[in-house]
Amino acid sequence: MRMFHTSVTDLRQPFVETVETFPYECGWADEAIFFVTAETGTDESAQVSLGVQLSADGIRWLDEGSVLTLRGPASGFVRVTHFGGFLRLAGTVAGGTTNGATLTVRLALKG
Amino acid sequence: MLPTQLDRLPGYFQPLPNVIVADDFDAGLNGWMDLRPNFVGAQFAAHSHEIDLEHWGPVMLSSATFAFAGTHGSASGTYSLRLPTRSPAAPPDQPPAPGSMSLAIKRLSCPAEAARIRIEAVIAYSTVQDRPGLGSEAMRAFGLFIDLQDSEHRFMPGVRFVNAVSGEPVRRWQYYRQTDSTDVDWSYGREGAWHQAGVDPQWFGVRDADGSTSATSWFDGREQRLIYNETDDKINWMPIALEFDLRSRTYVSFTAHGREYAFPPGAGPSLASPYANISGLLNPVFFVETDGDRRVDLYVDSVVVSYATDEEVAR
């Protein structure tokens, strides 16, 4: 049986303009899905743009290429495979009255 | 991944006769997870608002991989349980800042015949190597405790290694004692809080600038230099073991990296009134706290929880 684990890497975490989710080590896993929720209270016109990033050490990050975009309070997901040892999302919050968003990130891992 | 097997664990362990769990992190997280609050409020709000309990760093399986050293692995195998903090820390005489800790918990129940309980682990610790130099003073503290409740009390025996405070080395162990704080002082001035005095001493209780708290006593004796190697990406695995008498609710023994610590006669944790629906719970917890503006990690390799019966203690 394969191993499965979901980590809530960022729970109702407030971000202003720049988003960097918690660097998560998951080299044991073969596949991952980031489930992202912009929580209630996030401005209706705020646009959250997040890209998947990879890292060899959990400190220095490179874009993987996959992108997830949310507008206002909403949820979405992005799938990733073949990612090495560390994963996170990085991006921006634009628009809205506060230039901010409260995000919950659930990283579902299987391997 | 391999199945959990006691005979695969590193050779540091000396469990009591009855092993409840022997968790090898090469076989996965084994039920260890983030310690988070009770989401029972409106819109799933946390039950407790004295401090921010939602943003601690999330625990993960780690191969202990570094930029220059590569993969360190664990004491036995590849994976350990990693507790990573966020940053920054609050001053040491203030409540913990959001995200300045990471905590891992496993939720079990205590066998009725258990008279003594013992928790053992192999640990290593490091500061995230995000800048040149040695980060040894960025780690404020780490430790372990056991959340227990019998028919009369809830109590949390445990130990805390205060590594550094405000960047200055301390290197001494504390144990959780009976607090003299009132419930209000314990919960940072909040009336009617969920936390009785003595409950969750890793978060609550009056804190002082030297690393003391109203929940802890320092062990007698000189400082202990746990291994922190000459660079942040060299970690050394060290055993710790805490044993507790469930009948008298007092400490039996604590050892860390080859040193035995003596408790004063009758020393034990605070004895709070029981909480609803959790009698018989046995929840071991590991935790780590940053001291400054850097993330720090506690690595836990295998964990063994064992017990002895009254008859076995008497032998």
Contacts of residue A38, defined as CB under 8 A and 6 or more positions apart, other chains included, come to: A46, A48, A70, A72, A73, A74, A75, A101, A102, A103
Q: What is the mean pLDDT of residues B56-84?
A: 97
> Taking residues B104-131, what's their average pLDDT?
98
> Mean pLDDT score of chain B, rounded to an integer?
95
Contact A26 B130 (CB under 8 A): no
Percent of chain B with pLDDT strictly greater than 90? 91
CATH number at A46 reads: 2.60.120.230
From chain B, pick out residues whose CB is under 8 angstroms from the CB of A57: 65-67, 129
Domain count, chain A: 1
Residue A23: name the closest of A79, A62, A70, A69 by CA.
A62
- Nearest-Cα distance to chain B for A58, in Å, is 8
Q: Can you tell me the distance from the alpha carbon of B32 to that of B286, in angstroms, rounded to the nearest whole number?
A: 10
Q: Report the chain A residue with the minimal C-alpha distance to residue B25.
A: A28
Do A26 and B60 make contact, defined as CB atoms within 8 angstroms?
yes
Q: Which two tokens stand for residue B104?
A: 């891992």
pLDDT band of residue B6 (cuts 50, 70, 90) is low
What pLDDT sits at residue B5?
59
Q: Does the beta carbon of A58 lie under 8 angstroms from any beta carbon of chain B?
A: yes
Give the tens place of pLDDT for each residue, A7-18.
999 999 999 999
What local confidence, expressed as pLDDT, does residue B1 receive?
Answer: 38
- ipTM, two decimals: 0.96
Q: Sort out which chain B residues have CB atoms less than 8 A from A85's CB and list them.
A: 63, 65
On whether any CB of chain B is under 8 Å from the CB of A13, the answer is yes
**A26 and B61: CB-CB below 8 Å?**
yes
Touching check for A30 and chain B: CB below 8 Å?
no
Least Cα distance to B21 among B114, B145, B120 occurs for: B120
Which of B64, B73, B145 is CA-nearest to residue B106? B145
- Which residue in A has a C-alpha nearest to residue B39's C-alpha? A11
pLDDT at B162 over 90: yes
Q: Do B60 and A13 touch (CB under 8 A)?
A: no
**Is A79 at the interface with chain B, CB within 8 A?**
no
Q: Residue B32: its pLDDT value, please?
A: 98
Average pLDDT over residues B291-314: 97
Per-residue confidence band for B3, with pLDDT thresholds at 50, 70 and 90? very low
Spell out which residues of chain A touch residue B54, defining contact as CB-CB under 8 Å: 11-12
| Domains and their CATH numbers in chain B | 19-314 (2.60.120.260)
Q: How confident is the model at residue B158 (pLDDT cuts 50, 70, 90)?
A: very high
Give the range of the structural domain holding residue A50, as residue numbers without chain letter: 4-110
Q: pLDDT category, B47, cuts 50, 70, 90?
A: confident
d(CA B294, CA B226): 20
- Chain B closest-CA separation from residue A68 CA (Å): 22
Question: Once rounded to an integer, what is the mean pLDDT over residues A76-101?
Answer: 93
User: Do the beta carbons of residue B91 and residue B167 sit within 8 Å?
Assistant: no
Label residue A80 left, alpha or beta by phi (over 0 means left) and psi (-120 to 50 means alpha): beta
CB-CB under 8 Å, B57 with A22: yes
Which residues are bridge partners to B34 per DSSP? B104
d(CA A94, nearest CA chain B) in Å: 23
Is A40–B43 a contact, with Cβ atoms under 8 angstroms apart? yes
Question: Taking CB atoms and an 8 Å cutoff, what residues of chain A touch B129?
Answer: 57, 59
Does the N-terminal peptide bond of residue B284 adopt cis geometry, omega within 30 degrees of 0? no
**Least Cα separation, residue B6 to chain A (angstroms):** 20
The alpha carbon of residue B60 is apart from the nearest alpha carbon of chain A, in Å, by: 6
pLDDT digits (tens, 9 = 90+) for B234-285: 999 999 999 999 999 999 999 999 999 999 999 999 999 999 999 999 999 9
pLDDT(B295) > 50: yes
Q: Closest approach of chain B CAs to the CA of A63, in angstroms?
A: 18
CA distance, residue B55 to nearest chain A CA (Å): 6
Min mean pLDDT across B64-78, B189-203, B239-253, B291-305 is at B189-203
CB contact under 8 A, A9 and B58: yes
Residues in chain A: 111
Using CB atoms, pick whichever of B1, B66, B84 lies closest to residue A3: B1
CA atoms within 13 Å, Cβ hemisphere of B189: 3
Q: Counting one residue from A and one from B, how many pairs have CB atoms under 8 Å apart?
A: 56
Name the residue type at position B252: V
CB-nearest to B54 from A11, A59, A60 is A11
Question: For residue B63, which residues of chain A lie inside 8 Å, CB to CB?
Answer: 25, 27-28, 85
Q: Are B108 and B303 in contact (CB under 8 A)?
A: no
Q: What does the alpha-carbon distance between residue B255 and residue B36 come to, in Å, rounded to a whole number? A: 28
